[in-house]
Structures are given as C-alpha cells and as structure tokens.
Structure 1
Amino acid sequence: MDPFSITAGVVGIVAPTLHCVRRLVKDLQNIADAPDAVTALTNDLQSVGLALASVQAVTDSQWKSLGEAVTLQSKAAITSCKTSCERFKTSLDRWTRHSTDGTLSWRDRATLGVFRQGHIKSMSEQLQNCSITLTSVASIATLHSSLQQTQAAEEIKTMISTRETAVNDAIATTNDQSAEVASKLEALTLTEPDEGETETDQNSAIKQVAMEKKALGESRKVLEELLSVIQTAAVNARASQGPTVTFGNHNQGQQVGVNSGTISATFGVKG
C-alpha cells in the first residue's frame, strides 16, 4: 500500500473528528448549570481536541518513520472517537429534548443527573484513553525526529526510556480498563432497564459500552505498535554508539577488547 495514501487517510479523518469534538463541546457548554459529570466530560473532550491537534501536526516523514501498522491503527482509533462523539451527540439531543435555550428542564436534569451517569462515565473513560493514545503517537513521532539529530548518548537513552515507560504504563491501564468494561458490558446485557428508563435508553447504554470496549482494543493495538517502534529505536541507538574503550584508572597504558572497527588513539605525555 502506498505510504502517502495511508498518511492522507489519517490526516483526512483528523479534521472531521476535531470538528465533531468541538461541536459537542459547544453543545455541552451551552447547557446552563450542567451536572458535574457533564462538566467533566467537557474537559475530557477538550483534552482529546488538544491530542487531535498534536496528531494533526505530525508530518508525512514522521508518519513514515512510525510505520504502516501504527498509522493504520491510529486511523482506526481516531475513527472510533469520531463515531462515539456522533452517537453521544445524538443521545444528548434526545436527553435534552424537553429543554430550551440551554436551560435544563427538571425532567432532563433528572435524566442527565441520575439515569445517564453510567453512559457519560463510559464516554469520559473512552475519551481519556483516546487522548493518552493519540498523545503517545505524537510524542513518539517527535522522538523519531529528535533521534535524527546529533545528541549525547545519555540524552538519547533517557528520551527512549521515558517514552517506553509511558507507553508501557498506558498499555497496562488499557488492559485494566478493558477487563472492567467487559464485565460492565456483560452486566448491562443481563439486567432489566431501571425504573424510568426505556428499552431504547438501555440499548443506547449497551452500545456505548460496546463502543468503549472496541475503542480500548484499538488503542491497545496502537500502543503495542508504538512500543515496538520505541524498542527498535533503542536497539538502533545502542548500535550507533559504537564500542567504548576505557584507559584504566590513571588514563595510561593501552587496553583493547574485542573490536571490529577502527580505533583512533591519541597518546599524551605522562605527568
């Protein structure tokens, strides 16, 4: 597959996803005296917006350095984010259908404040995971660019180690969330709707959690591919450093270990 077309595919999905996120943020901000869960969701959406903007800044050459697998999985993760935002907006419009001019009716406030807590929490968790994943993509892309420049060996190793730790932590968190979401989805499918909750509402909640599960799986694939990219970078960094020769405690004498390259030595006068 043409790498340029793959990159164009990612770039092509970022802009409409960012537009969808910003539109949903505006809708939520227009709700006067919104419940705390809605305010928290707004913050999560804004974080995703920043992450999407950072991914949008990744250049074609940086995508190429990350590889086809990371690029394709990133596109899938961003697409899931867009789909979830669109679905949530549809649900939000339904939940606030009795309200006007941004002021929640008592009925809609009860709906958002009580019956939709699980739905909103699931959406928030998905957005948080998406933000971490996309931020990781952008940071690793920047790392690759930095490795093309001349830097001290220790600085390179520190940069790689820091990114590797962050991605490993993100993978562990994603795995924990996946297990929780699987249990939540099973529980939702086995329970009857709460009092005041319609079958349509329950189906919507089930679809939201199922979408969260799917998105977590896609994020894990992105992170695992990023980890592979970092590990390869670490191997290349070590290989580029070449052999290290130590000249004893008093910096005198000649010491040669196993060496397959050219040794250049300068001998001074012993004081």
Structure 2
Amino acid sequence: MPDPLSIAASVVGITVPALHGIQLLLEDLEQFRNASKTVKRLLEDVQSVDTSLKLLQRVEEREWDLLGASIAEQSKTTISSCAQACNLFRTNLQRWTRHSEDGRLAWQDRTSVGFFKKGQVRAMSEQLQYCKLSISSVVSIATLYSSVRHTHITEDIKKAIATTEAEVKDAITTTNKQLIVLESKLDELNLSSDDEEVAGPDEGKIEALQQVEEEHKAVSASQRLLDELLSKAQEDAVAKAAAKNQGCSTTVTSVTFGNQNSGQQAGVINGGAKFWAKRA
C-alpha cells in the first residue's frame, strides 16, 4: 500500500502552484471594477475553486490512504488541468485588456471582453465549475471517512452516505451531458476552421477552439475522477473505511511518577486494547 504521507504530499505538491496561479488570475480580474456581469461571474467561480482547493489541502493523510492512490492521481490531473486553463486564460486576458489601466476597462477592451470574448469567458466559468464540483466531491467523501474514524455507522451517517452518493451521481450525469455539448462545439469549430482555412487564420476562432479543447480536457478529467469517487461513496466502501479506522484502538495504562504520584498514559496499538496497572 502506498505511504499515505507520500500521497498527501503529492497532492499538495500539485495544489500549491495551482492556488498560486488562481490567485494571480483573481488579482487580474479584481482590478476591473467596471467589468461585465460575465466577468464578475467568472471572478466568483475562480474564488469558489480557490476555496475548494484550500479545503482539499486539509484532507488528512489517513483519508488519502482510504481514498487510494487512484483517486489521488485523478485529483492531481483535475487540479493540473484547472491550473493550466487558468494560466492560459490569464495570458489571453492580459492581451485582451492591454489598453486598460488603473483598474478600469478601456472602451476598446470593454467591448472586446464584454462582447467578442463573452463565449470564452463563459467557457472558462464552466470549466471552473466542473473543477469545483469534482474537488468538492473528493472533500465530501474524505470528510465522510473522517466522520467514521472513531464511531460505527449510525443512521445519521447512513443518511449522509446516501446524500453524498446521490450528489456524486448527479455530478456524473451533469458532467456527461456537458461532454456531449463540448464535443459538438469542437466539431463545429473544427469544421469552421477547415472551411475558412484558405482565408487565413482567425485569431478569435483559434482562441475559442483552444478554450473549448481545454474545457473538454478538464471536464473529461472531472468525469474520470467522479466515476472513481462513486465507488468510494457507497455504504459498503464507507463501512470498510470505518473498519480499517477502528483497527487502531487506544490503550490506557497506569504509570508511576515517584512514591506519591500516579497517572495515565495513552497510546495506540493495532488489534485491541490491553489494560494493566502497577501499584505505587
């Protein structure tokens, strides 16, 4: 079994630079106080992903061990895809807003971002929403596993399991539908590019195609992660996690600290608890 510390560390190793890139994009977007509603909505989506990734950083080593190396690898792929998309969008945004300064969009840039680039801004928002959806699902299941660390599966926990499983299934359905939409968009853009190839490259269409390709890559990564998570969200999987967690029991021993003083010492062993005492 992989060392849980190495699994957690590898996820953190991907998450930290992703958060840095997201923070840079946030700073760029926050500069434009008079941005369109579409850009403001994108800002909210970037903030949501930032929050989700910070919650993912709090997942403990034991929970990553229970989730497994495959979930960790799929999570890393999803995070990397999200980070790459943010970096690409930030590069495009800086080019689109090259006439603007002092936190206000110049009229040339406002027209460009608010109208001509609206589709790409929306595509970026969608991509971030799917990243948040899959990362939040990882956090939810990790939290569920953590909740059974020191207890048996109660009726309340069974309800939580059912809710989490239903949420993951809904997320899978939504993701599958979006992939169909994106594949249709890719076909349209590729056909359009082929038809107009003789007239020379169109920068806007190249950017749009690149954005949709990145979104398709990210949503595909989310789909694979969610499919893996579904098996971890079912009651039998949570029961196995609970049993594994409870394989470690607390021991209590009485120890002496001199002629008059005594106290208790607690530790953890595998396979059951033993109690013994020593007279002072």
How many Å separate the matches in 2 of 1:137 and 1:155? 20
Alignment of 1:111-260 (within 5 A): 111-151=112-152, 153-191=154-192, 199-231=202-234, 232-233=236-237, 236=240
Give CA-to-partner distance per residue, 1:128-154, whole Å, 9 cap, x none: 111111111011001011122224631
The Cα shift of 1:105 comes to: 1.7
2:78 corresponds in structure 1 to: 77
How many Å separate the matches in 2 of 1:66 and 1:52? 17
Alignment CA distance shift 1:89-1:145 (3 Å): same
Instruction: Considering fraction of residues, name the structure with more strand.
Output: 2
> Which segments of 5 or more consecutive residues in structure 1 lack a partner in the other structure?
241-271
Q: In structure 2, give the amino acid aligned to 1:215.
A: A
2:104 corresponds in structure 1 to: 103
The Cα shift of 1:48 comes to: 0.4
How many Å separate the matches in 1 of 2:142 and 2:206? 39
Alignment CA distance shift 1:62-1:93 (3 Å): same
The Cα shift of 1:121 comes to: 0.7
Question: RCO greater where, 1 or 2, for CA within 8 Å and sep 6 or more?
Answer: 1
How many Å separate the matches in 2 of 1:125 and 1:97? 25
Alignment of 1:23-34 (within 5 A): 23-34=24-35
CA contact (8 A) 2:186 2:213 kept: yes
The Cα shift of 1:214 comes to: 0.8
Give CA-to-partner distance per residue, 1:149-180, whole Å, 9 cap, x none: 22463122111111100100000000011111
The Cα shift of 1:234 comes to: 5.0
Q: In structure 1, give the amino acid aligned to 2:35.
A: A
How many Å separate the matches in 1 of 2:65 and 2:239? 19
Alignment CA distance shift 1:143-1:39 (3 Å): same
Alignment CA distance shift 1:237-1:112 (3 Å): closer
How many Å separate the matches in 2 of 1:65 and 1:30? 42
Alignment CA distance shift 1:152-1:220 (3 Å): closer
Where 1:172 maps in the other structure, the secondary structure is: helix
Identical aligned residues as a percent: 44
Alignment CA distance shift 1:152-1:86 (3 Å): closer
The Cα shift of 1:114 comes to: 1.0
Alignment of 1:11-50 (within 5 A): 11-50=12-51
The Cα shift of 1:202 comes to: 1.7
- For this pair of structures, how many residues does the alignment match? 237
Alignment CA distance shift 1:221-1:15 (3 Å): same
Give CA-to-partner distance per residue, 1:181-216, whole Å, 9 cap, x none: 1111211222268xxxx7223212111111111111
175-184 or 145-154: bigger deviation: 145-154
How many Å separate the matches in 2 of 1:39 and 1:97? 19
> Which segments of 5 or more consecutive residues in structure 2 lack a partner in the other structure?
245-280
Which consecutive segments of 4 or more residues in structure 1 shift more than 6 A? 237-240
Superposed CA RMSD? 2.2
TM superposition score normalised by structure 1: 0.82
The Cα shift of 1:76 comes to: 0.3
2:265 corresponds in structure 1 to: none
How many Å separate the matches in 2 of 1:99 and 1:116? 16
How many Å separate the matches in 2 of 1:235 and 1:58? 19
CA contact (8 A) 2:52 2:135 kept: yes
